Amino acid sequence: MTAHTEPAHTEPTYDGLSLIASRHCKRAFLDRPVPRSVLAEVFLAAGQAPSSRNLQPWRVTVVTGSTLDALTRGLREAFDRGEPARPDYANRPPTLDDTAVERARAALSGVLRAKGRAPDDTAAARDHLRDNLRFYGAPAAVVCHVPGDAVPGTFLETGLFLQNVMLGLVARGLGSCPQFSVAGYADVLRRRLDIETHRIIVCTLAVGYPDEAAPVNRFVPPRARIEEYVQWG
């Protein structure tokens, strides 16, 4: 009689970790439409994000074609008029510590250098901000919004959904860039896209097939060492 032998235990390999590590913001896109079926597939999967009592507070408005063209015109016109940004919520504290200030400075400097501009060029920084308002030429834009009575937990759950969306886009060969700066023109977004006035604009996403030949798409800001954000008990 042959003795029964248990199979050797091996740890599974999760390709998802490579997917997570490979995601970073894209700011140049090919002139190639994004199929609605692909976006629907991504949103369907992203909707599996957890939420308290399964409330699923997130909503998205997808903008393409002539509607996107009109939206970008409206956003840039508001910017050029000097209309101040009025986001529906604050995305950072009023003061930042030295580490946060340096990370923000390095991120902007890196993007400007990748665009062939000097990091201390104030005109270049303004041009970059204006470029946000055309979604970096992406063929699709996604506006994410939540109920007007949203609480901090609502934003946590919506963030889980948005991360799923961004990773799902990478899995389908697409790229994206989340944009709080565009949410600064929340009233323009609501008015142009018929979003109810009581809803809070969380952010937008520029979405498309990334132009990997563009230097700006090869810039990846440095990330903190694991020792800086993980404490082992």
d(CA 124, CA 153): 37
Q: H-helix or E-strand containing 144?
A: strand 140-146
Phi, psi of 116 (to 5 degrees): 80, 20
Strand partners, 208: 175
| Closest by CA position to 207, among listed 21, 40, 16 | 40
Q: Inform me whether the pLDDT recorded for 218 exceeds 80.
A: yes
> pTM value?
0.92
Residue 228: count of CB within 10 angstroms of its CB:
8
% the chain with pLDDT above 90: 93
CATH number for region 25-88+135-220: 3.40.109.10
Q: Inform me whether the pLDDT recorded for 7 exceeds 60.
A: no
What mean pLDDT is reported for the chain?
A: 94
Position 3 scores a pLDDT of 52
